[in-house]
């Protein structure tokens, strides 16, 4: 059973991960034949994998190495095991992962056995803390990184956030941290720091109820003793790191350049999940909105510029705090590039939001799953920003529609908005080229639309006379019910 599960995990992992190339000889020495064959195949050593499997496994008539490997890869355990790849702990610094509410929590830590064991306990505490909060909290970042520094002169922990606009923390601890029940406050301080990147209704009351929950305390009661329990089970000389298993004579099997195992290409989609199937591991966060920066930026809508000489369309995002606005675009360019080729930054123009003011419209900036992301067995958490524009006419939007239809491309730029409602020059050096912008009518938006967040309970949308049962009616009813 262990051999089979390890083989499945190897086949679902990245063969270029540091340490993977050392695995075949280690696995063979431990007589894990299926895993040895799987590791060799994953690394591209097909002929050696064939020889290995011929020596150890009875082949049925007509079976090939590819068919056997695919049977192993497609076992149900592949989707039931943790989604992250195998960590071989072979580098000077290593990463430990967990996923809570769709947000990846990553500890970047020295490759020290005692520190790794402590962080496993801390990860267990974080998972327990967020275990029952799937419908109470929502992260607005997809990833939080915690850089760990080992300091053996301390016994407590210290967690700091060097830049309040980035989800990156510095954690200082020693092998003596988290070693007594009295130090449980250190677990709490870490979780409290992470909560800066989560939003929710009345979070303070929820946390107070959580700490009154007897089941929660039962889940975490043994964590301070995690290290001693582990030593009691596997001893002081436990093998956790790759170096604990390696021998000098072990051969290295570098990944074969150009090798493609074609395994992931035929992964089938699952069936749609009901809301009650919502769990941490099948939830992901998709967001291009850095909440901290957007709160500071004082974004106030959208403007349009057209350079006739070069037939260039420029869509401007005006910010009262242009320094924060520049940081938003710098972060986008760093994460997405100067061309948003996959349209990760989505912009929607929603018209017809108020029948008494037909020219009013709402701008929504958001992200949504791509076709590759939108498999049917996952949930997504997204964040968006919106701003209501109240012009007297539709001239600007009509012009934007005509120009975008003709050119099919535009540059998205930040611009300074001054106190007298005058805008500055586009900051072209921070521009991002885009080929997508959505124009839609408010009445088309329903309860299952990604644009539902851009509809407000006070909206009185324009609904054409020939439209029966417009989706927005049900959405407005749901919004009003949630308020009552």
pLDDT at 45: 93
Q: What pLDDT was estimated at residue 271?
A: 44
Mean pLDDT of 3-23: 91
Q: Using the structure block, give the residue that is written with the tokens 């929590």.
A: 105
Alpha carbon distances (Å) from 98 to 104, 127, 146, 219, 476: 6, 8, 12, 17, 37
Q: What pLDDT score does 268 carry? A: 43
Tens-digit pLDDT profile for residues 130-177: 876 666 778 889 899 999 999 999 888 899 999 999 999 999 998 888
pLDDT for 373 equals 61
pTM over 0.85? The answer is no
Q: Give 360-384 pLDDT, tens digit per residue.
A: 999 999 998 776 665 544 677 888 9
The pLDDT score that the predictor gives to residue 307 is 72
Q: Do the beta carbons of residue 482 and residue 475 sit within 8 Å?
A: no
Highest mean pLDDT among 55-59, 182-186, 236-240, 398-402: 398-402
In this prediction, residue 59 carries a pLDDT of: 57
Give the model's confidence band at 61: pLDDT under 50 very low, under 70 low, under 90 confident, else very high.
low
Q: What is the pLDDT of residue 147?
A: 97
Q: Which residue has the higher pLDDT, 244 or 379?
A: 244
Taking only the tens place, the pLDDT of each residue in 310-358 is 688 999 999 999 999 999 999 999 999 999 999 999 999 999 999 999 9
What confidence score (pLDDT) does residue 204 get? 74
| In the chain, % of residues over pLDDT 90 | 49
Local confidence band at 60 (pLDDT 50, 70, 90 cut-offs): low
Which of 44-58, 222-236, 344-358 shows the lowest mean pLDDT across its residues?
Answer: 222-236
- Report which of residues 87 and 354 the model is more confident about: 354
Query: Of the ranges 12-21, 168-177, 211-220, 355-364, which is most confident?
Result: 355-364
pLDDT of residue 379: 76
In this predicted structure, what is the pLDDT of residue 291?
Answer: 92
| For range 246-268, the mean pLDDT | 82
Give the pLDDT score at 251: 93
Least confident of 115-119, 233-237, 311-315: 233-237
Q: Which residues contact 473 (CB under 8 A, 6 or more apart)?
A: none
- Sorting pLDDT into bands at 50, 70 and 90, what band is 1? confident
Which of 120, 113, 124 lies closest to 238 in space, CA to CA?
113
Average pLDDT over residues 465-484: 88
Is pLDDT of 109 > 90? yes
> Is residue 184's pLDDT more than 90?
no
Residue predicted with more confidence, 35 or 217: 35
Q: Name which of 120, 108, 110, 111 is nearest 144 in CA terms.
A: 108
The pLDDT assigned to 330 comes to 97
The predicted structure's pLDDT at residue 101: 84
The average confidence (pLDDT) of the chain is 85
Instruction: Look at 182-186, 305-309, 331-335, 346-350 and tell me which has the smallest mean pLDDT.
Output: 182-186
Distance, CA of 384 to CA of 318 (rounded, Å): 17
């Amino acid at each position: 059973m262990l051999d089979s599960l390890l083989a499945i995990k190897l086949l679902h992992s990245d063969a270029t991960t540091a340490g993977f190339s050392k695995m075949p000889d280690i696995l063979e020495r431990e007589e894990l034949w299926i895993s040895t064959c799987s590791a060799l195949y994953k690394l591209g050593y097909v002929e050696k994998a064939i020889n290995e499997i011929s020596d150890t496994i009875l082949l049925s008539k007509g079976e090939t190495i590819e068919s056997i490997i695919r049977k192993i890869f497609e076992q149900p355990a592949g989707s039931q095991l943790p989604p992250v790849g195998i960590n071989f702990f072979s580098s000077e610094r290593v990463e430990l992962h967990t996923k809570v509410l769709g947000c990846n929590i990553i500890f970047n830590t020295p490759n020290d056995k005692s520190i790794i064991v402590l962080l496993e306990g801390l990860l267990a505490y974080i998972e327990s803390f967020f275990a029952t909060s799937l419908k109470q909290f929502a992260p607005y970042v997809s990833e939080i990184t915690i850089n760990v520094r080992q300091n053996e002169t301390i016994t407590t922990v210290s967690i700091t956030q060097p830049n309040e606009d980035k989800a990156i923390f510095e954690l200082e601890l020693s092998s003596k941290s988290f070693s007594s029940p009295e130090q449980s406050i250190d677990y709490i301080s870490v979780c409290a720091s992470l909560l800066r990147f989560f939003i929710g209704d009345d979070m303070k009351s929820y946390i107070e109820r959580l700490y009154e929950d007897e089941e929660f305390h039962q889940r975490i009661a043994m964590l301070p003793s995690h290290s001693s329990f582990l030593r009691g089970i596997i001893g002081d000389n436990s093998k956790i790191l790759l170096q604990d298993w390696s021998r000098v004579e072990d051969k290295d099997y570098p990944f074969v350049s150009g090798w493609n195992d074609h395994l992931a290409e035929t992964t089938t989609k699952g069936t749609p999940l009901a809301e009650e199937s919502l769990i941490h591991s099948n939830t992901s966060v998709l967001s291009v909105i850095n909440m901290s920066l957007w709160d500071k930026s004082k974004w106030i809508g959208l403007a349009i510029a057209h350079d006739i000489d070069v037939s260039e369309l420029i869509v401007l995002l005006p910010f009262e705090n242009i320094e924060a606005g520049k940081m938003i675009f710098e972060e986008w360019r760093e994460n997405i590039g100067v061309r948003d080729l996959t349209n990760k930054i989505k912009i929607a123009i929603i018209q017809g939001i108020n029948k008494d003011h037909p020219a009013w419209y709402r701008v929504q900036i958001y992200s949504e799953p791509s076709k590759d992301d939108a498999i049917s067995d996952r949930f997504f958490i997204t964040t968006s920003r919106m701003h209501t524009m109240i012009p007297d006419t539709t001239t600007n939007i009509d012009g934007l529609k005509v120009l975008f239809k003709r050119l099919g491309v535009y540059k998205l730029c930040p611009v300074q908005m001054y106190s007298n409602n005058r805008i500055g020059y586009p900051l072209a050096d921070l521009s991002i080229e885009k080929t997508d912008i959505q124009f839609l009518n408010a009445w088309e938006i329903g309860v299952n639309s990604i644009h539902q967040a851009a509809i407000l309970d006070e909206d009185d949308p324009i609904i054409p006379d020939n439209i029966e049962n417009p989706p927005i009616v049900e959405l407005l009813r749901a919004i009003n019910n949630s308020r009552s």
